[in-house]
Structure 1
Amino acid sequence: MPDTCVARVPVFAGLSEEDQTAVAGRARPVHLATGEIAYAATDPTSRLLVVHTGRLKIFRLSADGSEQIVRILGPGDFTGETSILTGRPPDDYAAAMDDSQLCVFRHEDLEELVRQHPGIALRMLSTVSERLSATEQRLNALGSHDIESRLAGYLLGLRVTWLEGEGVVTLPMAKKDVASVIDASPESLSRALARLASRGLISVGEGRSVSIMQPALLQRLADGA
């Protein structure tokens, strides 16, 4: 079938090509410019948003108005499942980090799809469970690890390209957003990067490139050892 968001999403992976085409027919395409809000907390409607191209950041707002990034979504990822399952408005925000194309399902359309294909609901619940587990691990790290340990764990969690024994990662977002993810200020993040580099664990390259020089020691740091 054509390259659609439905074909990319794991929760729809078990459907036949014919059923995937039918599901795609229920999706409403939505284009977002960089920085545009996909939904806001307390929006009255319940929708499932699937990323076809681009990226979305899911975030909450603190009392002082600053953003706390919860996760970053790329092609094939989805959000809004909690509102769909409970019928309640969202309690977070979603905004486009790049020029993005989404497929949007209304609450009633997704309910009909789940009735026709119960496996969709099971795979969706599995994804939600994985997210909850990741959130618990993150909260544990925030409570028990210092910023350098949190940064080490974050770097090791990125996609690594190995070149002659060195792992090269590219930060997927601006450093201020990385700081938000690991619950640090941009200044604290910059100091932590410098300290890890001074210890020979990493090397900070141009732009968003970071080389992992000693992965075993970096992993020990991430584990709080």
Structure 2
Amino acid sequence: MLPRFNLDDLPADLKSQITRRSLTGKECLFLDGDPANYIYYVESGVIRLLHYTELGQTVNHYTLMSGNFLAEVLIVSDKYLCTAVVEEPAEVLAIPKQAFINALSQDPSLMMAFLGEVAYRLHMTKVMMQIRSIRSASERVLNYLRVTVPAGTNVIVLDRPLKEIAYNLDLTPESLSRALAQLQEERYISRERGRIILHR
């Protein structure tokens, strides 16, 4: 299994070039077709990737939250391939694209870690598409919990607000709350402060 990518592994000279941006709700981070100069890392908030058809319809790709890279496909593209819209106020790190590519080319272990991150993203995107296709909210939430629970344990530590999890599941926060209450009533889960325990 390829290692996961960690910002702490970046060389010091690249870290010194990274800048932080604060974004407000509904702000566009970039537009489809804009020159691609930065790869982004989401520190907090919610950002939705989408594109618009020639008829003006919106096609949603997926939603990114804290801990996710954004626009990593730019390694092989000179332009952004979709539009990024801020759903919830966000903090992002802007990593200069060319400096990032140079760092990867000079460090094979860093390159392998980045490939691992991209592979993991592709896998989780496929998994989340399958989960979002489940019609029942409670079944959707239960499947999500089963996918995200760490190996060897039945405890999920809630490291982000439930509102972000609801976005990820394409549910309203109210629907997520009702689904969790139903799962607890049916004894699939129990809840403690800051964590959820899976029972079956």
Q: State if a TM-score over 0.5 links the two structures.
A: yes
Answer yes or no: is 1:170 the counterpart of 2:166: no
**1:154 Cα shift?**
2.9
Q: Deviations 1:190-221 (Å, cap 9, x if unpaired)?
A: 33223112213334567xx4542xx231xxxx
SS at match of 2:65: strand
Preserved contact between residue 69 and residue 180 of structure 1 (Cα < 8 Å): no
Cα pair distance change 1:152/1:28, threshold 3 Å: same
Per-residue deviation, 1:134: 1.1
Mark the CA change 1:90 to 1:39 in structure 2 (over 3 Å): closer, same or farther: farther
2:12 alignment partner in structure 1: 21
Give the equivalent residue in structure 1 for 2:66.
Answer: 73
CA distance in 2, matches of 1:103, 1:132: 22
Are positions 1:57 and 2:46 aligned together?
yes
Deviations, residues 158-198 of structure 1 (Å, cap 9, x unaligned): 67xx9xxx9474361243x4333112344433332231122
In 1, the alpha carbon distance for the partners of 2:92 and 2:39 equals 14
Equivalent of 2:119, from 110, 124, 129?
129
Tell whether the 8 Å contact from 1:28 to 1:103 is kept in structure 2 after alignment: yes
Q: Quick one: structure 1 residues 172 and 43, their matched pair in 2 at CA, closer, same or farther if it must change by over 3 Å?
A: farther
Distance 1:129 1:174 in 2: 26
Report the aligned-residue RMSD: 4.0
Give 1:133 deviation, angstroms.
0.9
Q: Could you say which structure has the larger radius of gyration?
A: 1
Question: Is 2:178 the partner of 1:191?
Answer: yes
1:43 is displaced (CA, Å) by 6.0
Task: Please say if residues 58 and 92 of structure 1, whose CA atoms lie closer than 8 Å, have aligned partners that are also in contact.
Answer: no
Q: Which residue pairs with 1:84 in the alignment?
A: 75
Match of 1:42 in 2: 32
Distance 1:56 1:84, change over 3 A: farther
Equivalent position amino acid for 1:120 in 2: L
Distance across 2 between alignment mates of 1:43 and 1:174: 33
Distance in 2, matches of 1:99 and 1:183, equals 19
Q: Distance in 1 between the 2:50 and 2:75 partners? A: 22
Identity of aligned residues (%): 20
Unmatched runs of 5 consecutive residues or more in structure 1: 1-8, 218-225
Distance 2:169 2:188 in 1: 18
1:181 maps to what in 2?
168
* Distance in 2 (alpha carbons) for counterparts of 1:191 and 1:182: 14
The separation in 2 between residues aligned to 1:143 and 1:99, in whole angstroms, is: 27
Task: Give how far 1:135 is off.
Answer: 1.2
Deviation at 1:100, TM superposition (A): 3.4
Q: Structure 2: where are the runs of 5+ without partners?
A: none
Q: Which has the higher contact order (CA 8 A, sep 6+)?
A: 2
Per-residue CA deviations over 1:81-116 (Å, capped at 9, x if unaligned) read 1123322314142649567362421x3323333343
Q: TM-score, normalised to structure 2's length? A: 0.69
1:67 touches 1:180 (CA, 8 Å); kept in 2?
A: no
Q: Residues of 1 paired with 2:155 and 2:120: CA distance?
A: 26
